[in-house]
Amino acid sequence: MTQFSANLGFLWADRPLPDAIRAAKAAGFDAVECHWPYDIPAAETLTALQETGLPMLGLNTRRGDVAGGENGLSALPGREADAQVAITQAVDYATAIGAGAIHVMAGFSRGPRGHKTFLRNLEFATKTAGAKTILIEPLNRHDAPGYFLQTTDQAREIIAELAAPNLKLMFDCYHVGRTEGDVITRLTDLLPIIGHIQFASVPDRGRPDHGELNYAGIFAAIADLGWDAPLGAEYKPGGPTDATLEWMSDLR
């Protein structure tokens, strides 16, 4: 049976993180993940995780100056110190709550300097994280124009170049579906370097029971590949989350 993780960056986003964790448990999710939990003391998050028995799969590094348009720091030349502070903060928070992975956000950058900066910061992240997994995620060009990491091929090259055993790909079926297509073939090809899988409908990033991608087929293919970790529901509910969960019973 397919397991699902609730991404609390989008689901129950109107509730404090500890309450969102409890809501995910009540809804039948097998795990949780989040974006930026740092405004909530780690002890409060840990208490909710312990109460529910849900594992926190991962979290993101801070984006930087959001009001100024930043969406990650680790590929920005000249911002290495800020990026490494954000990485250290993410690793510390993940350690405090028992989360297994940290998504290191690249940010808006390009070219050889951006590539070199991203590699340097990822090397710092993989060493700082210890046994935890460092994830990198390509974002599609429609939602995040100018984001440094845009394709799975680019991510694969970076992972191969750094050759750190704890550096993996966050494969988001939504982002891949928007820019590359052929999601099942890409999943199959990239499976050895994938650290986490997420999903949402294409093109509207809503719940996975409509749109261009047939998630019944995709989830069956993922199971056939031997993947048994929870899949991350990172979709925009467009209203109360509890009213959007019919897909869970249909697609398990």
Closest CA to 47 of 18, 90, 25, 89: 18
Q: What is the CATH number of the domain that holds 126?
A: 3.20.20.150
Place of tokens 């939990």: 37
DSSP state, residue 72? B
pLDDT digits (tens, 9 = 90+) for 112-124: 999 999 999 999 9
Q: What is the pLDDT of residue 120?
A: 98
Q: What is the pLDDT of residue 103?
A: 98
pLDDT digits (tens, 9 = 90+) for 186-241: 999 999 999 999 999 999 999 999 999 999 999 999 999 999 999 999 999 999 99
Q: In what order do the strands lie in the sheet with 101-103?
A: 31-33, 4-7, 231-233, 194-199, 167-172, 133-136, 101-103, 58-60
Residues noted as catalytic = 137, 234
Question: Could you give the number of structural domains in the chain?
Answer: 1
pLDDT average, residue stretch 90-118: 98
> Residue 92: which pLDDT band, with cuts at 50, 70 and 90?
very high
Judged against a pLDDT cut of 90, whether residue 252 lies above it is answered with no
0.95 exceeded by pTM: yes
Place of tokens 């090397």: 123
Judged against a pLDDT cut of 90, whether residue 167 lies above it is answered with yes
Domain range for residue 69?
A: 4-251
Q: What is the pLDDT of residue 1?
A: 87
Residues of the chain with pLDDT > 90, as a percent, come to 99
